[in-house]
Structure 1
Amino acid sequence: MSQIRKHYFMDEYCIIAPRRNKRPSDYADSIFEKKTSECVFCEGYEDNTPPATAVYKNEEILQDTDNSRIKNWGIRCFPNRYPALSSKSERPSDTISTTMEGYGFHEVIVETPKHSHKVSNFSDDEIMLFMKAYQDRVTYYQSLEKIAYVSLFKNEGQKAGASIAHAHSQLIALPFIPPELKREVEVIKASETCPYCNIIVEECGGPRLLYHNEEFIVIAPYFSKVPYELWILPQRHINHISDFTEDMLGLLGDAIIFSLSSINNILKEVPYNYMFYQLQDDPKYHFNLRIQPVTSIAAGFEKNTGIYINTMPPENAVQQLKNNIS
């Protein structure tokens, strides 16, 4: 029987409508076709991208120039060739009107020089470097004048919005805080205790807890919009990745690898998105990362109501994920 479930603390709803005969393999989908042509993100093709603003190589952070590109790198960060926003646009005034110049920054973070290497297979050193790059790039853009929010996200697979198969993430630095996050902040500020801290207490040891380490827990949230959705939450109250210690970065990487590997074990390289939610200037906010496999598309009902129909109860999802841990 289906259930209507309310978000933990927001005025949002989802419908859990289990299909009893639906197997995990029914949700699976191929991320990409095999590589058939040159990839501009691969090592050796650096000249085919804009000059890198940050190159991670041998424990150094370097920069390309217009005339030369750094080789033998670990991670490359460079402006998106087709940016959603541009720093060349006029900076917005303090008074927001209904229309403003598309000011901001749009950066690509190429996670590895190897074309077919995926985050779920990263070594300890690779994931640590990756998390450090996330911390560095978000902190840098958040420090810029007129930037209010840095959206950090990963699209894996064509159905998740990626146009290139090579492992990469993106960030878009905005001159305003997104309305969805603003609404969350308003509710959090009106609460006597942190709603996310309450979620951690509620879910620890329960049927929706998938994983935990010294710093983070991974849950399939009670309010799950899509099948096998996972949230990664720091157990301590912390609002932004810029405040993470080196140990926390490593443990965040461990939680990400465990989560993606668990999903891949039963969904076989399903496309997915993950998104960071954080606010540097608001200590009441609680950092969280949300992983959403793409197992279906948002259709008319979802677009009309904002209510998602999820055919996999999160309690069942966690049980399946645990049963298939390799």
Structure 2
Amino acid sequence: MTLTIEHTEAEGTLLLGTSRGDGSAEVVKALGWRWGRSIGLWFVPRSRDAAPKRPLIEQTARQLREAGFEVEVSIDTTTGNREEAEARRAERAQARSGRLADRAEREQTKADQRYAASRKIADGIPFGQPILLGHHSQARAERDARKIRSHMEANIEHQERANAAAAAAATAAAGPQYRHNPVTVANRIERLGAEIRRMERALEQSAAAGHRRQDLEDQLAIHRADLEHWQKVRAEQLETGQATNYGRENVAVGDLVKIGGSWHTVARCNAKTVAVETGYSWTNKAPWHTVQDHRPRALAEVEGSKVQG
């Protein structure tokens, strides 16, 4: 039997050609692969729109061969359209949000059922009625108390699960929009730039060979494509006014800048950050791309005098 380990950017790392009971499941499951019911294949988690995990792929192929399988490996590192990759990411986020919302609804139903069951028992007991020790009703009253406690504990547990799933569903649904937040985009560009420079230095200075070097080159290609994409996104945000572009060329000491919804007086203008007064002996620094608005000192003083007058 021939199995194929296949990696593409859009589909991730998949194992093709397996069948139930052929012994492959025991091998790949122990290596961290998961079974995808919707696709009917084993897959490597978080491998879509990512660089191939070559050491894991090689280890999987080796152990499958040792188990008696013929294994072919196909790795395609072609970097595709980033807008399409973002669309796939958004689709996965919405699907995850839907699954979590369904889970929250199921857990909420169970919580409500348990609460209703506890109320049904409690409503049959006269208000304030104690357990009468030695009375023929004692055994039943104690059973009712245990049932009420059990239902309420289960109600709390299911309610906590429902709340957690609902919160996770909301986070997943908001993910794509958050990824395009102007500040988030600018932060991502800085992070990608730093990562690219680090990887380039590693390739230049290191004698890394084999998988280590190939892993760096794979990831570097993806980072470069991502950086180009997000730079275009930021350029569009600047053009449409969604993002700001303040710096020491248009902000001076003593001016006011708005950061995080609050206005601050500028204490120092640096190349990448602005330092603002805090009212204490120290200043706080913030990246320029987090500045939401700006008022020159002269304008701020005029507006302040008008307010006082």
Q: Structure 1 or 2: larger strand share?
A: 1
* TM-score after normalising by structure 2: 0.22
Q: Structure 1 or 2: larger helix share?
A: 2
Bigger relative CO (Cα 8 Å, ≥ 6 apart): 1
